[in-house]
Amino acid sequence: MSKKNDAFGFETRAIHAGASPDPVTGARSTPIYQTTSYVFDDVDHAASLFNLQTFGYIYSRITNPTVAVLEERVANLEGGRGAVACASGHAAQLLAFFSLMEPGAEFVSSRNLYGGSITQFQHTFAKFDWHVHFVDPQEPENFRKALTPKCKAIFAEMLTNPTGIVIDLEAIASIAHEAGIPFIVDNTCASPYLCRPLEWGADIVVHSMTKFLSGHGTSMGGIVVESGKFDWGQNDKFPSMTQPDPAYHGLTFYETFGDFGYTMKTRAVALRDLGPSLAPLNAFLILTGIETLPLRMERHVANAGRVAEFLAGHPAVAWVAYAGLRSSPYHELARKYLPRGCGAVFTFGVKGGYEAGIKVVESVEVFSHLANVGDTRSLILHPASTTHRQLSDEQRVAAGAGPDVIRLSIGLETADDLIRDLDQALAAATRKSREAAE
Amino acid sequence: MSDSIDRENYSDDYILDILKNNRIVAMVGASPNWVRPSYFAMKYLQSKGYRVIPVNPAAAGEEILGEKAYASLSDIPVKIDIVDIFRKSDAVPPIVDEAIAIGAKVVWMQLGVRHEGAAAKAEAAGLRVVMNRCMKIEFGRLSGELSWSGINAGVISSRRRKLIA
């Protein structure tokens, strides 16, 4: 079939991209290549592989056939050129920055991130002498104002976790490009079914595949996807891409691999030397999850809409922050960037603050009280006492994780059951706070 | 091929036909330096059964990867199918003129190399043209090998992938 790839629909690509039948056995499902290493034909073949002069497998820390199918699948769904999968979303962030940053380098990031990312950027990255400037992402100009000559990237989450802010992708991408640096978007909460940031000017997309891509709460995984459109040679900010690499016998990645040079660099140096490779079994489970991504996201969105409407009308609820609600300040941006829906992760405020919040999460029977999102199961969390616990009070409020905030990740159960469960939990929390008041 | 090609948006069939039916490549700008992209491409294409003859005035008479290098296309004593150009875009026209003169069937310009005028001239003379693509990457992409590195080959198929033979 000579039809061009982009002529195939998303659903077809979610099932087929990267996964032609095994050339040797004809196995139709992607086999789990549970092997650490691969034989060389001869010494010259080995040398060609180590030098990156030929395509092929050496060692599963760097490449693995099952993982490669997943990489191509996600690259395809995001409309990217190539991708590097790794052990977790956190590893994906580390790898994505490793190919851009040098000691002393800086970047500007949205302050509305998953709590663990804030900690990673602020404290752990500082040990590499990389420094972050956090800004409120609701005003794109904030990113421009925070840029310094040492900045190598702008980073933001699309559909921020947990606050559900919809960022203006196009505007922020222009600011990054005017500064000659790439725009990195964490697309975990939207998934490529709901939003494809590369189509709006982003240059690199990262995911925690642990969430909606996998979709079943079974497997950790992360991925870095490159658009192939960023010109690394436009300035001297990215020596790691444009200068001979001493970690690779003087190879110049951008010149040698062109529009997938960043992917090759991220794999051949960052993944190779930092080592957070993805297990083949996890890649298989995530691939299986992605096959049903379109169906699942439709139902996640439909269920989330039902639950959000219910909460918005509940007397024990102070507010609901779901971009899918007409009352949301992000409704207009959501119509532009998320026409198929605003995902299934959102927050609400329970009247009665910290104590009431804890009572709600301890009273649910169908929702699971745990720290994850994007599962078939509905999940509930009180960020102030869990994921965002390590932040200061001020940071917590800025990140949308204040004392009364409850985060939901709406799963694929019967919507009425989810509503009934929250209703009884809110009743229990209200009873409790009324007793406390008496 | 008389129908005009949508330049730089070549169909997979067009590229595949070129890769399958032409085996002798003159690589203009082939480098003896083993970390240069042309060296990578030459070594890879050799391993896939192509004969690659280097053209590089600075290396003329020397051997690169077991093949004698020539100063120009017209010095090569064997018939050339594909002229693969690893030079800057503005160096392309005289190379294309020579490619036409020696009866090559295809002019292939590497990633980042483009010359509309030279491409039109080559096509008018009956040659087929590919611009801004890498032969190694295209071979890898259409044979499935590029996908081994997590690159989006843009191929959707329910048939077993076969190496180009």
Whether residues A267 and A301 fall in one domain: no
Cβ <8 Å between B35 and A5: no
Please work out, in degrees rounded to the nearest 5, the angle formed at the alpha carbon of residue A397 by the alpha carbons of A392 and A401.
95
How far is residue A94's CA from residue A186's CA, in Å, rounded to a whole number? Answer: 12
Q: Give chain A positions within 8 Å (CB) of B145.
A: 55-56
Whether residues A283 and A296 fall in one domain: no
Q: Give the A window 241-270 contacts with B, CB below 8 Å.
A: 244, 249-252, 255-256, 258-260, 263-264, 267
CATH code where residue A335 lies: 3.90.1150.10
Name the residue among B39, B150, B154 with its Cβ closest to that of A68: B150
Strand partners, B64: B67
Cβ <8 Å between A16 and B134: no
> Burial letters for A193-218: b for 16+ Cβ neighbours within 10 Å, e otherwise?
bbbbbbebbbbbbbbbbbbbbbbbbb
Cβ <8 Å between B150 and A85: yes
Q: Give chain A positions within 8 Å (CB) of B39.
A: 53
Last residue of a domain, one of A289, A312, A334: A289
Cβ <8 Å between B140 and A17: no
Q: Give chain A positions within 8 Å (CB) of B147.
A: 18, 68-69, 72
CA distances from A90 to A154, A167, A206, B115, B159 (A): 17, 21, 9, 44, 36
DSSP string, A5-31: GGGS-HHHHHHHTT-PPPTTT--SSPP
- Please, are residues A89 and A222 in contact by the beta-carbon 8 Å criterion? yes
Per-residue pLDDT, averaged over A277-289, amounts to: 98
Interface test with B, best of A6, A8, A53, A84 (most B CBs within 10 A): A53
- Please give the residue range of the domain that contains residue A407: 292-437
Whether residues A264 and A304 fall in one domain: no
- Please, are residues B19 and B142 in contact by the beta-carbon 8 Å criterion? yes
Minimal CA separation from B47 to chain A, in Å: 9
> What pLDDT, on a 0 to 100 scale, did the predictor assign at position A1?
38
Whether residues A174 and A320 fall in one domain: no
CATH code where residue A199 lies: 3.40.640.10
> What pLDDT, on a 0 to 100 scale, did the predictor assign at position A199?
98
pTM attached to this predicted model: 0.92
A153 contacts chain B (CB < 8 A)? no
How far is residue A3's CA from residue A58's CA, in Å, rounded to a whole number? Answer: 33
- Tokens 């204040």 correspond to A402
Per-residue pLDDT, averaged over B40-58, amounts to: 96
How far is residue A47's CA from residue A39's CA, in Å, rounded to a whole number? Answer: 12
DSSP conformation class of A277: P
Close Cβ partners of A8 (under 8 Å, ≥ 6 residues apart): A16, B156
Cβ <8 Å between A20 and B160: yes
Strand partners, A185: A156, A205
Cβ <8 Å between A264 and B134: no
Per-residue pLDDT, averaged over A282-304, amounts to: 98
Summarised one tens digit per residue, pLDDT across range A296-327 is: 999 999 999 999 999 999 999 999 999 999 99
How far is residue A274's CA from residue A285's CA, in Å, rounded to a whole number? Answer: 24
Summarised one tens digit per residue, pLDDT across range B58-115 is: 999 999 999 999 999 999 999 999 999 999 999 999 999 999 999 999 999 998 899 9
> What pLDDT, on a 0 to 100 scale, did the predictor assign at position A386?
86
Minimal CA separation from A15 to chain B, in Å: 10
Burial of A39 (0-12, 13-18, 19+ CB in 10 A): exposed
CA distances from B99 to A194, A215, B15, B73, B83 (A): 49, 55, 19, 7, 7
Last residue of a domain, one of A250, A271, A289: A289
Cis, peptide link before residue A140, omega less than 30° from 0: no
Whether residues A79 and A102 fall in one domain: yes
Q: Is a pLDDT exceeding 90 seen at residue A162?
A: no
Summarised one tens digit per residue, pLDDT across range A175-232 is: 999 999 999 999 999 999 999 999 999 999 999 999 999 999 999 999 999 999 999 9
Q: Give chain B positions within 8 Å (CB) of A54.
A: 43-44, 47
Cβ <8 Å between A53 and B44: yes
Cβ <8 Å between B145 and A5: no
**Domains: count for chain A:** 2
Whether residues A266 and A347 fall in one domain: no
Residue of B nearest to A246 (CA): B35
Residue of A nearest to B143 (CA): A23
Whether residues A269 and A410 fall in one domain: no
Whether residues A116 and A158 fall in one domain: yes
Cβ <8 Å between B44 and A54: yes
Whether residues A278 and A360 fall in one domain: no
Interface test with B, best of A256, A267, A269 (most B CBs within 10 A): A256
Name the residue among A21, A65, A85 with its Cβ closest to that of B148: A65
Residues in chain B whose beta carbon is closer than 8 A to a beta carbon of chain A? 11-13, 34-35, 37, 39-40, 43-44, 47, 111-112, 134, 137, 140, 144-162
Domain presence at residue A3: no
How far is residue A325's CA from residue A341's CA, in Å, rounded to a whole number? Answer: 10
Last residue of a domain, one of A231, A260, A289: A289
Whether residues A270 and A305 fall in one domain: no
Q: Is a pLDDT exceeding 50 seen at residue A2?
A: no
Cβ <8 Å between B40 and A255: no
Q: Which of the listed CATH numbers 3.40.50.720, 3.60.9.10, 3.40.50.10490, 3.40.50.2300 matches domain B12-147? A: 3.40.50.720
- Residue spans of alpha helices (H) in A182-244: 191-194, 239-242
The ipTM, to two decimals, is: 0.85
Which amino acid belongs to residue B159?
Answer: R
Cβ <8 Å between A20 and B39: no
pLDDT-derived band at B160 (thresholds 50, 70, 90) equals confident
Summarised one tens digit per residue, pLDDT across range A20-66 is: 998 889 999 999 999 999 999 999 899 889 888 889 999 999 999 99
Strand spans (E) along A9-142: 82-86, 106-110, 131-135
Q: Sign of the CA dihedral B142, B144, B150, B153?
A: positive
